[in-house]
Structure 1
Amino acid sequence: MPANSAPPATPKTGAATDSDSLKPVPAPRSTPKNEHRFDIDLMRLICSCAVILGHVAGAFILAVDMDESNGAASYWAGHIADGANQFAVPMFFAMAGWAVLMGAPPKDSARMWTRIIRNGTPLFVWTGLYLVWAYLRDRNDEPMTNLAVDSVFGSVQPAYHLWFLYAYIPIIMALGFVVLIRAGHRPWGLGAALLVIAGLPHLLSTVSEFTGWSPPPVGWSFGTYSVVYAIGGALLFALPQRLSKRNRGLVALLMVAAMAGCIWWDTQVHYVIANAHPFVAILTLSLLLLVSRMHIPESWRPRLTRLSSAAMGAYMVHVFFVEELVKRWVSADSGAVEAAAMLVAMVAMTTVLSYAASLLWGRLGLRRWLG
């Protein structure tokens, strides 16, 4: 029997009435009302910087055409850095699950739609900005109008990193829908939107059969692995206590081993390792357990919260710096020391510029539009 189901009626208590059986049962909360989780602010900051690390690392790997023989130092610098960041996307799903299911579940459909719009608006604004930038730089492989239409259905070049939001938004919609149903609401609009997302590929293929139009790929979807990360993240972030010091040491060793596994897979089997791969899952789980419920000193909290609020904006803009600066300066001919130093310098530069830009438009009141 599920833990939150009512016990069977007994002669002593009497049978439940119809109104009682239809009354929604509030889900238990492990997070006290109005508690701010600074450890999750820290995790958001870590993941944002990890995404930047991964895309800078990708520039090193592409500089040698993904072939070690074209430059071993840049090849390995890129792959080692890339293997260290593989937790980022799964962890974002985990944090989404915790926020929707445990930390800040939506109280009604209007608040859920506010959350969706808050994530969706920067997606399309930045897609437009990247398309204009690529047009001005003459980097579009197709007419910008075609790319703009395609971007309605899925991520396009050069805004390749925005693919994540085409999966992130549907999954928070689905989780929010379940939360609202569980609370006794009837979110018809949200359900209709999910139905459209689920049927969109088939709708487009049907239109194609009648018109001959070649529809663009649809990115509005999420896989089983992202649901597992979201639900598992909600469960684990809600644990009431941090790991013991002894267990933290063991988990840290496990995390390093999983990171090495990711590097091995990328270099010896297939690049890029899938987000659902066991090595990635172990890496993600290990980092989550190490950071969750970590004590954040009082003096750090205001600055951490400020940086965490700028994380989405930094994620949105960082590819501009990777494409315009990093890829120009990375060389396939670097030696080991030079490649390592260049990697550190490029990651630091891209991170500082991205967060500085995000903090600036935050001060200008543009967070709603630019993330």
Structure 2
Amino acid sequence: MRVDVPPADRPASAPSAPLPTTWIEFARVAAMAAVVVVHAFSPLVSTVYADLGTPAWWAAHVVDSALRWCVPVFVMISGGLLLRPREEDAGEFYRRRWARIGVPLIVWTVAYLVWERWRDGIGASDAVAQAASVSPSIHLYFLYVIAGLYLLTPFLRTVVAHTPRTGLCWFAGLTLALGAADQLLGLVDGVGGVTAATRFLPFLGYYLLGWLLLNSGPAPRSLRYGCAAFVLGTAATVGGAWAAAAVAGEWGAGAAYVYGFLSPTVVPASVGAFVLLRAAGSRLAAGGRAGRTVGRVVGAVSGLSLGVYLVHVMVLNTLRDIGGTPDGALALAAASGYAVATAAISMLLVAAMRRIPLLRSTV
């Protein structure tokens, strides 16, 4: 289904035709799987279980670099779906979205802090500091990002409805540039730091970009550009992070910056991944009976994506605690096995939780 592109000299109002959903569900599942793989492989990249420059490190580094789009794609999907101007006042929007994101944010923040206290013995003051700095767990910052973006959504819809498309492109580009600059300045000693109230701001550009991309008609040229952006961005991430680590002699702040979701290499790779996922998901939807069968499976798994995102770190770390992780070449095989097992167990847990009334709203 083609979505009309608003003229550049007119406000980018909402398309009249309903948006297709099959490819969006496909993109959610892909992003969910990518997040699990990234967290399974990240200890190798950060040299906990593999030495810098070894074959195991390089394999994990290339895989991780190729999947850095996972969180940006989630943010872009949310922006694409929620920024469409519609008849819905702010109060109604907040009531509906609170149930979707507010309850999981509170429940899983508490759950992970309690789990960390049981697992690592953190104190009450450390728990409060982790919650305030959006780090009750390595992945829960995403809930704070989405919650912050939701707060601005009713007002951003007005901006979207009355701003020419070129103006929105500038807005998205400038906010992404500011986010990249913010992370770059954070490399200076004593500078930077985020809180639960500000963590979402650097991602505003991705949120706007999601709406712009979702409302751009698919075309062969955009697919070529998307493929080029993904390949070049990923290659630059691989090379840039390795160079920064090699100069420092370790995986440090410079390499981590290149890996950041707002780094100059990850942004184009994320845009390219979004375009490629749309093309792949759209082709899946047009695949006849087999495509419809796969589409139903993808739709069912997509409905579990938020819950899997929330529980998978607890599952992954528990598996690591039980099974351990070898060093060197075997660490790569262990990480791959943990990724598959984590995804499978997390989906089963979330599917079971969704059948329990008191737990359904948390996932």
Residue in structure 1 matched with residue 172 of structure 2 by the alignment? none
Q: Does 1:156 align with 2:131?
A: no
Residue in structure 1 matched with residue 270 of structure 2 by the alignment? 284
CA contact (8 A) 1:106 1:176 kept: no
1:298 is paired with a residue whose SS is helix
1:324 and 1:369, CA in 2 relative to 1: closer, same or farther beyond 3 A? Answer: same
Residue in structure 2 matched with residue 49 of structure 1 by the alignment? 33
Deviations 1:125-153 (Å, cap 9, x if unpaired)? 1121122222223x033x1x324433553
CA contact (8 A) 1:125 1:370 kept: yes
Q: Structure 1 residue aligned with 2:210, among 217, 233, 245?
A: 233
Residue in structure 2 matched with residue 188 of structure 1 by the alignment? none
CA contact (8 A) 2:99 2:361 kept: no
Residue in structure 1 matched with residue 143 of structure 2 by the alignment? 165
1:65 and 1:116, CA in 2 relative to 1: closer, same or farther beyond 3 A? Answer: same
Q: Does 1:30 align with 2:12?
A: no
Q: Structure 2 residue aligned with 1:218, among 195, 198, 201?
A: 195
Residue in structure 2 matched with residue 108 of structure 1 by the alignment? 89
Q: Structure 2 residue aligned with 1:306, among 300, 318, 333?
A: 300
> For 2:228 and 2:274, how far apart are their aligned partners in 1?
14
Deviation at 1:348, TM superposition (A): 1.1
Residue in structure 2 matched with residue 133 of structure 1 by the alignment? 115
* Equivalences, count: 306
2:135 is paired with a residue whose SS is coil
User: What letter corresponds to residue 125 of structure 2 in structure 1?
Assistant: N
Q: Does 1:331 align with 2:331?
A: no
Residue in structure 1 matched with residue 166 of structure 2 by the alignment? none
Q: Does 1:58 align with 2:42?
A: yes
Q: Max radius of gyration: which structure?
A: 1
CA contact (8 A) 1:74 1:331 kept: no
> For 2:211 and 2:92, how far apart are their aligned partners in 1?
20
Residue in structure 2 matched with residue 263 of structure 1 by the alignment? 238
2:266 is paired with a residue whose SS is helix
1:321 is paired with a residue whose SS is helix
2:354 is paired with a residue whose SS is helix
Deviation at 1:87, TM superposition (A): 0.6
TM-score (norm 1): 0.72
User: What letter corresponds to residue 112 of structure 1 in structure 2?
Assistant: F
Deviation at 1:36, TM superposition (A): 4.5
Deviations 1:99-135 (Å, cap 9, x if unpaired)? 2212x85712233212134212112211211222222
User: What letter corresponds to residue 284 of structure 1 in structure 2?
Assistant: S
Q: Does 1:98 align with 2:80?
A: yes
Residue in structure 2 matched with residue 80 of structure 1 by the alignment? 62
CA contact (8 A) 2:25 2:299 kept: yes
1:238 and 1:368, CA in 2 relative to 1: closer, same or farther beyond 3 A? Answer: farther
> For 2:222 and 2:90, how far apart are their aligned partners in 1?
41
Deviation at 1:309, TM superposition (A): 1.2
User: What letter corresponds to residue 236 of structure 2 in structure 1?
Assistant: G
TM-score (norm 2): 0.74
> For 1:181 and 1:248, how far apart are their aligned partners in 2?
28
CA contact (8 A) 1:108 1:180 kept: no
Deviations 1:198-218 (Å, cap 9, x if unpaired)? xxxxxxxxxxxxxxxxxx962
> For 1:133 and 1:29, how far apart are their aligned partners in 2?
44
CA contact (8 A) 1:80 1:263 kept: yes
Stretches of structure 2 lacking an aligned partner (at least 5 in a row): 1-6, 163-192, 245-253, 286-290
Deviation larger for 48-57 or 104-113 = 104-113
> For 2:27 and 2:325, how far apart are their aligned partners in 1?
29
Identity level (%): 21
1:367 and 1:263, CA in 2 relative to 1: closer, same or farther beyond 3 A? Answer: farther
Deviations 1:10-60 (Å, cap 9, x if unpaired)? xxxxxxxxxxxxxxxxx7322624x45111111111111111111111122
Q: Structure 2 residue aligned with 1:357, among 338, 343, 349?
A: 349
After superposition, the CA RMSD in angstroms is: 3.1
CA contact (8 A) 1:64 1:75 kept: no
Residue in structure 1 matched with residue 102 of structure 2 by the alignment? 120
Deviation at 1:356, TM superposition (A): 1.6
> For 1:249 and 1:2, how far apart are their aligned partners in 2?
22
1:106 and 1:56, CA in 2 relative to 1: closer, same or farther beyond 3 A? Answer: farther
Deviation larger for 118-127 or 325-334 = 325-334
CA contact (8 A) 2:14 2:161 kept: no
Residue in structure 1 matched with residue 333 of structure 2 by the alignment? 341
